[in-house]
């Protein structure tokens, strides 16, 4: 009885997760990350330290480790990507963890929720979600920050990339929710003020940023995949060898 219950839970939970994750989101565009494109990740790292690291930390990563992986020298890192100071007022060192100065309590007062650490966000939310979330902010004067989000409704985060993207309003429509009722869904955005980037440039910038977050969440991903391929190739040749050996041993038995 107990066993079958556990089995049932094992089958049901993933299905429930899938069902709840399938909620409507707008925008809902696909993204693919090119792990060999280190230049994109470098641009993403610059965006991250300029626009995100003031509120969010990436407390599992050190600046110089990121630099080493992405080919950014310690000097460049220190000059262009580090903007925080330590508790003595000195500039944060390249060997430090990527932490913010703001305290959790202060952030909670200012935004209603503390901005979460983003080290592993690409694994918990996925790159698809992140790509659309960062392109999903629209004007909404009922919200404390003046913006809402088509992917994360009633989000507490302001649209920090508005100077790049500009501001948009959402076009909404009533649609059947499939259970006999109606609900409001976003069907499009309308640009109201221009940012410093065109729509294509902004999409590319967000893609770079998400590529960087994806790297951050799993710095060993590339190594892991290469090792995996190597192991499979080894096993394949080992199989042939083992088979030949088996034939040799059993040759005289029959």
Choice from 158, 162, 197, 204 touching ligand HEC (CB under 6 A): 158
Q: Which of 169, 163, 144, 164 is nearest to 155 (CA)?
A: 144
Task: Give me the residue label for tokens 């990740």.
Answer: 41
Task: Give me the residue label for tokens 């309308």.
Answer: 190
Q: How many CB atoms lie within 10 A of CB 237?
A: 9
* Minimum distance from residue 31 beta carbon to ligand HEC (Å): 14
Name the residue nearer to ligand HEC (CB basis): 74 or 145.
145
Residues 48-77 contacting ligand HEC, CB under 6 A? 51-52, 54-56
Partnered with residue 62 across adjacent β-strands are 97
- Residue 189 is given by DSSP the state E
* Minimum distance from residue 196 beta carbon to ligand HEC (Å): 15
Instruction: By CB under 6 A, tell whether 115 contacts ligand HEC.
Output: yes
Instruction: By CB under 6 A, tell whether 204 contacts ligand HEC.
Output: no
Distance between CA atoms of 221 and 231, rounded to whole angstroms?
Answer: 15
Segment contacting ligand HEC by CB under 6 A, of 10-18, 27-35, 150-158, 236-244:
150-158
Print the binding letters for residues 73-102 with ligand HEC: x by CB under 6 A, - otherwise. Answer: ------------------------------
Give CA angle at 138 (27, 158), nearest 5°: 110
Distance between CA atoms of 135 and 165, rounded to whole angstroms?
Answer: 8
Segment contacting ligand HEC by CB under 6 A, of 22-30, 158-166, 215-223, 235-243:
158-166
Instruction: By CB under 6 A, tell whether 109 contacts ligand HEC.
Output: no
Contact by Cβ (8 Å): 196, 163 = yes
Choice from 147, 155, 186, 211 touching ligand HEC (CB under 6 A): 155
Q: How many CB atoms lie within 10 A of CB 72?
A: 22
Contact footprint for ligand HEC (CB under 6 A): 51-52, 54-56, 111, 113, 115-116, 118, 121, 125, 130, 133-134, 155-158, 160-161, 209
């Amino acid at each position: 009885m107990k066993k079958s219950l556990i089995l049932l839970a094992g089958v049901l939970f993933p299905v429930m997760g899938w069902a709840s994750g399938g909620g409507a989101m707008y925008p809902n565009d696909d993204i693919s990350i090119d792990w060999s494109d280190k230049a994109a990740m470098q641009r993403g790292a610059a965006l991250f330290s300029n626009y995100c690291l003031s509120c969010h930390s990436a407390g599992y990563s050190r600046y110089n480790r990121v630099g080493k992986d992405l080919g950014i020298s310690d000097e460049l890192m220190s000059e262009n990507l580090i903007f925080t100071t330590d508790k003595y007022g000195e500039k944060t060192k390249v060997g430090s963890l990527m932490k913010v100065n703001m305290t959790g309590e202060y952030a909670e007062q200012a935004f209603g929720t503390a901005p979460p650490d983003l080290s592993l966000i690409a694994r918990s939310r996925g790159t698809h979600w992140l790509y659309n979330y960062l392109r999903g902010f629209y004007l909404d004067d009922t919200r404390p920050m003046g913006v809402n989000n088509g992917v994360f409704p009633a989000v507490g985060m302001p649209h920090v990339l508005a100077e790049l993207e500009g501001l948009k309003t959402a076009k909404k429509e009533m649609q059947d929710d499939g259970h006999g009722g109606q609900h409001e869904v976003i069907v499009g955005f309308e640009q109201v003020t221009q940012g410093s980037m065109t729509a294509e440039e902004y999409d590319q910038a967000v893609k770079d940023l998400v590529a960087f977050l994806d790297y951050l969440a799993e710095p060993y991903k590339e190594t892991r995949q290469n090792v995996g391929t190597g192991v499979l190739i080894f096993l394949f040749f080992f199989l042939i060898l083992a088979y030949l050996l088996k034939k040799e041993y059993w040759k005289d038995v029959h």
